[in-house]
Amino acid sequence: MTVNWTTLSLISIYILLAAGAAMYLSWMTIQRKKNVERMMDNIMGKLAANVTLTAKEVVHLGRGFDLSPKLSGDAVYRLYTQANDVESYEKLKTLVTDIEREEAFDELPDEVKPSLSRLGKLIEESKEPSDKHILLPLTTTLGKYVELKAEQEKAKKQTARAYIITVISFLVGTVSFYYTLKSPSEADIKRDMAQVLNEKGMAAPAPATPPQPPNLER
């Protein structure tokens, strides 16, 4: 009985934790979808008011809706595919072109993006064929730096996740051990049963007497 109650307690705790995590992820997904739709409405409102937007401004707007730069750009792409009138289509086309130019440096640090973007525009205007490859060494080196930094961040997250799992496992084990100590032993159960029977005026069942061998003496 003790083992069964302990097992049921552990299963219930794990089920509650899994259900809570699933509900949280579902809520985050729904909230993110709503934020994307709100941002799309916001962008269309600005374009209708003849406000000129840039790729950087789209990222800034996305932060206001708690969206990553990628999700912010995806919102613009969705609007671009849904545009049916010429005016909106041309405005969104210009914005998409600007976003694509910035996306070449998405994985690089924010501090160098404006400089690299400016260099990219100057290279496009240059008539020297060799200028087309000026950014390649810079972006390659910075890309390796970003990959190394991303690996470090990933290792930190994995360490934090393992620490949280260890703490939860310790708490679950402590609770299970506590209930194991508090659960009645076999002797306690027999004593309680005898007490209940005595209170009802019934004698406790006597232990069975083993059969005696027959007496062969005459």
**In sequence order, what are the residues at sequence separation of 6 or more whose Cβ sits closer than 8 angstroms to the Cβ of residue 38?**
65
The predicted pLDDT at position 158 comes to: 81
Distances (CA, A) of 47 to 30, 51, 73, 95: 26, 5, 15, 10
pLDDT in tens, 67-122: 888 888 889 999 999 888 888 899 999 888 888 777 666 666 666 666 776 777 67
**Tokens coding 161:** 């996740």
Q: How would residue 20 be classed by pLDDT, with cut points 50, 70 and 90?
A: confident
Q: Which of the two residues, 212 and 27, has the higher pLDDT score?
A: 27
Top pLDDT among 6 and 92 is at 92
Tens digit of each residue's pLDDT (9 = 90 or more) over 53-79: 888 889 889 989 988 888 888 899 999
pTM: 0.49
pLDDT at 215: 55
User: What mean pLDDT do residues 3-14 have?
Assistant: 66
- pLDDT (0 to 100) of residue 54: 86
| pLDDT band, residue 13 (cuts 50/70/90) | confident
Q: What interhelical angle do 2-48 and 86-103 show, nearest 10?
A: 120
